[in-house]
Amino acid sequence: KLSMEARLNGLSKMSQTSSNFTERVIAATGPNAHPRLKEIIPSLVRHLHDFAREVKLTVGEWEAAVEFLNECGKMSNDRRNETQLLCDILGLESLVDDITSKLLASSASETPSAILGPFYRHNAPLLPNGSSIIQDLDPSVPWYTQAVADSAHVTGRVLSSSGEPIKGAIVDVWHAAPNGLYEQQDEAQPDMNFRGRFMTDAEGRYSFYALRPVSYPIPDDGPSGRLLKLLDRHPYRPGHIHFIVSAPGFRTLTTQLYDDRDHYVTNDAVFAVKDELIVKFVPKEGDPKALWLLEYDFVLGRK
C-alpha cells in the first residue's frame, strides 16, 4: 500500500497536487489583467496551493474555513469589523502596516507607525489644547476611582524629521474606557467619549487630558475569539492610546502609544507593539486635573 505522501507525489503530472496544476491556474490570468493584481494573485495562488499541499487540507477543513470567513463577514459592520480582527490576531494588519511604513519612510527619525485597529471614528470633536477627552466622568460609573487614579496629562510636539515644529497639525486621539470598551461598544458611555482632535500651536505643541490606558480583551465573542481559544491564546492587548497625526505636506502618521506598566506590552494579542512606542507616564504634581504626565513628540515625514 502506498502512503498518502507517496500517492500525492505519484500523481504529480495529472493531478491538482502537482505544481504544474498551480502554474496552470496562474496562467489563466489574461494579458489585460489589472497590473498590480497580475503581480499579487499569482503569488497568492502559489502560497495558497503550497499551504494546502503542506498541511494536506481536507474538504471538511476547507468547508469549515469558508464557513468561518462567512461568519466573519456577517458579523462585520460599522461597529464591529470581525474580518479585520481575524487579520489582526494572525499578525497580518501589523505586518502590512510595517511593510507600508518602510516603503514610505524617508528618515529613521520618523515616529514608527502602528495599526489603526477597528475602533477609529471620523470627526471626533475638535477641542482646544488643554481640554479633556473624558466627556463625562460620572461618579456612578463602576470605574470612577480607577479613572481618577489614572488621570493623565498628555502633551508634546509634532515635528518634522529635521526637528522643526509643525504648526496646525491635527492630533486625533482615542482610547478605551477603564472597563476595556471603546465608546461605540458601550451603551453607558456618551457619544465620542475618550476621543478628540487637537491642533498644534506655533511651537508644534498639542496638549490634552485623558486616562492612562489599561489592558483589555479584543472582542472575543465571535469567530476570531473562538479561534484564539482553539489556539490556546489570550485576547489581551496592552493599554494603548491611538493617534492619527496629520499636517499639510507631511505623510499622515497612524500610531499607538503603549503604557510601560502594562504586563501585555510584551505579549500583545495583535502583535502591534514596537519598542519606540512604549512610553513612561511620570507622576505629575500640582495639577488638580491629572496625577500623571506623558510627554511624547511625534515626528512626521515629508510627502
The string of DSSP letters for 281-300 reads: -EE--S-TT-SEEEE--EEE
Placement of cell 466627556 in the chain: 135
Q: What letter represents residue 24's amino acid? A: R
196 binds ligand MBD (CB under 6 A): no
| Residue 182: burial class (beta carbons within 10 Å; 0-12, 13-18, 19+) | buried
User: What is the C-alpha separation between 265 and 273, in angstroms, rounded?
Assistant: 7
Please name which of 47, 66, 44 lies closest in space to residue 55, comparing C-alpha atoms.
47
Site for ligand MBD in 83-102 (CB under 6 A): 88
Tell me which residue has its CB nearest to ligand MBD.
Answer: 117
Determine if 198 is a binding residue for ligand MBD (CB under 6 A).
no
Among 81, 97, 119, 244, binds ligand MBD (CB under 6 A): 119
Q: How far is the CB of 180 from ligand MBD (least distance, A)?
A: 9
218 binds, among ligand MBD, Fe ion, none (CB under 5 to 8 A by kind): ligand MBD
**From ligand MBD, Fe ion, none, interface partner of 110 (C-beta below 5 to 8 A by class):** none
Judged by CB under 5 A, the residue of 42, 72, 88, 117 near Fe ion is: 117
Smallest distance from ligand MBD to CB 85, Å: 6
Whether the Cβ atoms of residue 271 and residue 93 lie closer than 8 Å to each other? no
- Shortest Å distance, C-beta 270 to ligand MBD: 5
Query: Rounded to an integer, what distance in angstroms lies between the CA atom of residue 22 and that of residue 8?
Result: 14
Q: Is 133 in the site for ligand MBD (CB under 6 A)?
A: no
Task: Kindly tell me which residue out of 147, 152, 173, 218 binds ligand MBD, with binding defined by CB under 6 A.
Answer: 218
- Phi/psi region, residue 163 (left: phi>0; alpha: psi -120 to 50; beta: rest), is left
The residues in 63-82 that bind ligand MBD, with binding defined as CB under 6 A, are none
237 forms bridges with which residues in the sheet? 216
- In this structure, what C-alpha cell is assigned to residue 298? 511625534
- Indicate left, alpha or beta for 29 from its phi (over 0: left) and psi (-120 to 50: alpha): beta
**What grid cell was written down for 287?**
495639577
| Of 23-31, 116-124, 157-165, 226-234: span binding ligand MBD (CB under 6 A) | 116-124
Q: Does 225 bind ligand MBD (CB under 6 A)?
A: no
* 3-state DSSP helix/strand/coil % of the chain, to nearest 5: 35, 20, 45
Cβ distance to ligand MBD smaller for residue 42 or 117: 117
Residue 182: CB minimum distance to ligand MBD, A: 7
Query: Could you say whether residue 273 binds ligand MBD (CB under 6 A)?
Result: no
Residue 220 sits in the site that holds ligand MBD (CB under 6 A)? no
**Residues at the contact surface with Fe ion, assessed by CB under 5 A:** 117
**Residues at the contact surface with ligand MBD, assessed by CB under 6 A:** 88, 115, 117-119, 218, 237, 270, 272
